[in-house]
Amino acid sequence: MSPHLLVVNPNSTAEMTDRIDAEARQYLPANIDMSTRTNPGGPPSIQGAADGKEALPGTLEILQKTDFDLAIIACFDDTGLTETAKKNVFGIGQAAMQAAHDLRQPYAVLTTSELSVPVLEANAKSYGLTDTLICIRASTIAVLDFEQQRDAANKRLIAAARKLMEDHPELRTIVLGCAGMGGLAEEMEQHLNLRVIDPIKAAVTKAVKTLTIPAVSLH
C-alpha cells in the first residue's frame, strides 16, 4: 500500500486548499498518495496569533480523526504544530525555514501581515533556525489577495522583495512566508536573480524524502 500524505489547510478558504493541492502534486511521485483537507471552522485566512487560535480546534480535530503516514500543516504559521501530540506532522513554515537554514547563507522571510511577524519569529527561534536568519518582514499584502488578485499581489510581492534586498544586500535567500505565495518562487527568482524558497515545494520535498527513506535493516 502506498504511503498517505495528508495536507491540512488550517483556514476555511477552499480555493486556497485547491491551489495548494495542485501545486503539491507537481512534486509528488506516483508511489505516494495525497489528500488535502480544509478546516471549515477556521477563519478565511490566518494573519497573526488571534487567527491561529481560532483555527486551532478544527486543525487539531482533522489531525486527530484522519489516518495518515505523514501530515503537512499548510499554513506558514504552522498552526497546531506545537499542540498536536502526533510526531509525524510538520509545517510548511518549519520546512521552508529549515531549507533556507541548511544553505548556511543569510536568509530572510517575506510574509504577509505585521501580525504574523512575532509568531514567525517565535517559531524560528523554537526550531533553532535563527543562525543565518536576517529578518522576518511583512509585505503588507493580505493572504487572500494571493487568491483573489493574484497577478497584482505577485507584482507587489516582487516590489517588497526588492526593497528587502536593498535594505539587506547580504541576503542570499528569500523564503516566501505564506501558503498563498506558493507557486510564485520561480518567477520571483527570475526577477530578483536571488534564490527564493517556495514553502509548498519545500514541505512536499521534505515529505517525499521522509516517506521514501528505506527501512533500516536489523540484520
Q: Is residue 217 in some structural domain?
A: no
- Assess whether 67 and 150 both reside in one domain: no
Whether residues 40 and 60 fall in one domain: yes
Q: pLDDT per residue over 13-31, tens digit each?
A: 999 999 999 999 999 999 9
Tell me which residue range forms the domain holding 14: 4-92+203-212
In a shared domain, residues 153 and 88:
no
Backbone φ, ψ for residue 115 (5° rounding): -65, -25
* Closest alpha carbon to 30 in 61, 69, 3: 3
pLDDT value at residue 212: 87
Say what the pLDDT of residue 1 is: 81
Predicted confidence at residue 214, as pLDDT, reads 59
Checking if the pLDDT of 217 tops 70, the result is no
Beta bridge partners of 108: 135, 174
Please indicate, yes or no, if residue 148 is contained in any of the structural domains. yes
Q: Tell me, yes or no, whether 219 lies in a domain.
A: no
**pLDDT tens, 54-90?**
999 999 999 999 999 999 999 999 999 999 989 999 9
Residues 179 and 150 grouped into a single domain: yes
Q: Mean pLDDT throughout 31-37?
A: 96
Q: Does residue 48 share a domain with residue 86?
A: yes
**Distance from chain centroid for Cα 25:** 15
Query: Does residue 218 sit within a domain?
Result: no
Are residues 29 and 99 located together in one domain of the fold? no
**Overall domain count for the chain:** 2
Q: Are residues 152 and 176 in the same domain?
A: yes
Domain with 135 in it: what CATH number? 3.40.50.12500
Whole-angstrom CA distances from 2 to 5, 28, 161, 203, 214 are: 10, 12, 40, 19, 14
pLDDT at 219 over 70: no
Tell me the percentage of the chain whose pLDDT exceeds 70. Answer: 97
pLDDT digit string (tens) for 121-131? 999 999 999 99
Kindly state whether residues 132 and 183 are assigned to the same domain.
yes
- Asked if 8 and 72 touch (Cβ cutoff 8 Å), the reply is yes
Query: What are the cell numbers at 188?
Result: 520571483
128-145 pLDDT tens trace: 999 999 999 999 999 999
What pTM does this model have? 0.93
Query: Are residue 134 and residue 191 in the same domain, yes or no?
Result: yes
Q: Is the same domain home to 100 and 55?
A: no
At a CB cut-off of 8 Å and minimum separation 6, what does 34 contact? Answer: 4, 5, 6, 7, 21, 24, 25, 28
Q: Both 117 and 194 in a single domain?
A: yes
Calculate the average pLDDT of the chain. Answer: 95
For residue 218, what pLDDT is reported?
32
Distance in angstroms (rounded) separating the CA atoms of residues 46 and 67? 25
